[in-house]
Amino acid sequence: MAKPEKAASDLHYIHQRVRKKEADYQTYRFTRRQNDILKTFFDLAQEFDSLQDFYRICVAVPNLYLDLQVRLYLLDINTDRFELVCDSLKGLLPEPSPAPPYLEPRKSPYEHGDSYLVPIARKHYDSEDTPVRFLQGRLLGMLEVSPQGEMTAADYFFFGKYTNRIAHNLHNRRLVQQNIRHLEFINNLVMDIEHNVIIPNMYFRHLFNQLRKNLDRLAGLVEELPPAGEPPPAGQNVRTRLLELQAEFAENHRQLLDHHVNTSLFLESLFRRDHFKEGHLVLKTRLCSVGSEIIRPQLENYQKRFELYGIEVEHPTGMEVEIYLTVDIGLLSQVYANLFSNGVKYAEEITRKDGSRRKALAYGWEFYPDFFGPGMSGIKFNVFTTGRHLRQAELSRIFEDGFRGANASGSSGTGHGLSFIKQVVEIHGGRVGCEPVEEGNNFFFVLPVPPPLATVEAANPDHA
């Protein structure tokens, strides 16, 4: 809480600013119509919440009051290029279009032909909490007004004040939207952590139970042992049983170690500081073998569960050829963990045409030339499970967050796993999908491949 003398000092400063503004407005000498423009803009900016409506207000107010054509250009912070977003004749553009060549990032207004172009720039003060991305440049856009006609120096001054108000509102709205997106991301990340770390981490309980059972068996063997120096009872091969128990302890240790490594990988990839700082998943990529560093470790991690549920894992031919891609190993490993976890839950036994029974999961990859466009090839990674085909209505929504298909009614889950897969694949520049195939459903994702690999695969297309 501010001290009384500090509060008094602050209030005195505010009084000074009020008097200064009063004097400024006397010198501005705005016409009644210009004052009405500013008041209308302020009132409507308060009334409408969306950025799209705000863009319309920016061009519509001076257009209707002054019978001028007005265009709103905004600076794309990713490309540092101006884009036309709204026009008083055409309205809001469905997609921003490139600005004309004469539009330049200037600090002061300038003329071009019969157009007057005014910078939309923030004032020279920011709070310490203002995100870095908004401190890198104060120029937010440009307002183009035409035809100039009989515009005077006073009109030019007025438009400078008008764009100041646009800049202030635009900056604040962007901050609000950024904060909303940041909160939404954190909420989703919490779900990711619960779905991919906390729930799978319960598997540790199963591993500890297995370890406990083996310890109890060891205790039983110890009780059966005769006193020191006496031979074991006839017919009891304690050595054989101890060797069996030793092998099981070694397996317990291996599973615990593998699960710990896997959990640590997932924790690192989800709890990165950059995720929380930027408000979106930030990739930490390196060149890796997708087969040996991502698919096989996850397959081994789920092998016991596949065996427990009677699911046969069918290994593809051609997987001995390694695929090297630059990806985020931790996040892409979670993609496969989610797909294999769904396989455990939803794989169903089917009756084949020859009358035999099959309950299986299969995986693999295949090369797709020009999948992302001419010269932009992709690799399609597949995870297939036997069972009833998903319906068409389900296929169109299966990757939506919270959606669960009809076959999920008897299984626990949140419907978040496939949404997470879609998010991770798309930030890698890929696409996801699901397709009914013979005897079941195939979930897949396609990742772009670098040109050298695409060239090699085009010459050797049979690695599928």
What is the spatial distance between Cα 137 and Cα 134, in angstroms, rounded to a whole number? 6
pLDDT at residue 71 is higher than 80: yes
- Give the percent of the chain with pLDDT over 70: 88
pLDDT score of 437: 94
pLDDT at residue 124 is higher than 70: no
Average pLDDT taken over every residue of the chain: 85
Residue 184, token pair as written in the block: 């939404």
What is the spatial distance between Cα 415 and Cα 292, in angstroms, rounded to a whole number? 28
**With DSSP H G I counted as helix, E B as strand and the rest as coil, what are the percentages for the chain, rounded to 5?**
50, 20, 30
The fourth-level CATH superfamily of domain 280-459 is Histidine kinase-like ATPase, C-terminal domain (3.30.565.10)
Of the candidate ranges 190-194, 334-338, 388-392, the one whose mean pLDDT is the lowest: 190-194
Q: HEC string of 424-448?
A: HHHHCCCEEEEEEECCEEEEEEEEE
pLDDT at residue 235 is higher than 60: no
Of the candidate ranges 76-80, 118-122, 274-278, 441-445, the one whose mean pLDDT is the lowest: 76-80
What is the spatial distance between Cα 401 and Cα 421, in angstroms, rounded to a whole number? 10
pLDDT at residue 217 is higher than 90: no
CA distances for 157 relative to 2, 112, 141, 244, 408, angstroms = 39, 17, 18, 90, 64
446 φ, ψ (degrees, to nearest 5): -120, 125
CA distances for 38 relative to 55, 58, 173, 274, angstroms = 15, 11, 18, 41
Q: E strands within 164-266?
A: none
**For the segment 36-67, what is each residue's pLDDT rounded down to a tens digit?**
999 999 999 999 999 999 999 999 999 999 99
pLDDT at residue 286 is higher than 90: yes
Query: What mean pLDDT do residues 174-196 have?
Result: 82
The confidence band for 411, taking pLDDT boundaries of 50, 70 and 90, is low
What is the spatial distance between Cα 40 and Cα 62, in angstroms, rounded to a whole number? 10
pLDDT score of 358: 93
pLDDT score of 362: 95
Most trustworthy range by pLDDT among 9-13, 174-178, 191-195: 174-178
Residue 218, token pair as written in the block: 């060891």
What is the spatial distance between Cα 68 and Cα 405, in angstroms, rounded to a whole number? 54
Residues 6+ apart with CB under 8 A from 98: 81, 82, 83, 84
What is the spatial distance between Cα 278 and Cα 316, in angstroms, rounded to a whole number? 39
Of the candidate ranges 289-298, 393-402, 440-449, the one whose mean pLDDT is the lowest: 393-402
Segments making up each domain of the chain, as ranges: 18-180, 199-227+236-271, 280-459
Query: What mean pLDDT do residues 358-387 have?
Result: 93
pLDDT score of 278: 84
The fourth-level CATH superfamily of domain 18-180 is GAF domain (3.30.450.40)
The confidence band for 132, taking pLDDT boundaries of 50, 70 and 90, is very low
Residue 76, token pair as written in the block: 């794309």
Residue 339, token pair as written in the block: 């797909």
What is the spatial distance between Cα 186 and Cα 281, in angstroms, rounded to a whole number? 10
Give the closest residue to 342 by CA, choosing from 289, 418, 280. 418
Q: What is the DSSP string of 385-418?
A: EESSPPPHHHHTTTTSTT---GGGTTS---S-HH
Task: Please tell me the number of Cα atoms within 13 Å of 58 on its side-chain side.
Answer: 32
What is the spatial distance between Cα 385 and Cα 416, in angstroms, rounded to a whole number? 19
Query: What mean pLDDT do residues 392-418 have?
Result: 73
Residue 420, token pair as written in the block: 């997470």
Assign residue 366 a region: left if phi > 0, alpha if psi is -120 to 50, beta otherwise? beta
Query: What mean pLDDT do residues 145-170 have?
Result: 90
pLDDT score of 461: 46
pLDDT score of 319: 62
pLDDT at residue 408 is higher than 90: no
End-to-end Cα spacing for the chain: 68
pLDDT score of 288: 93
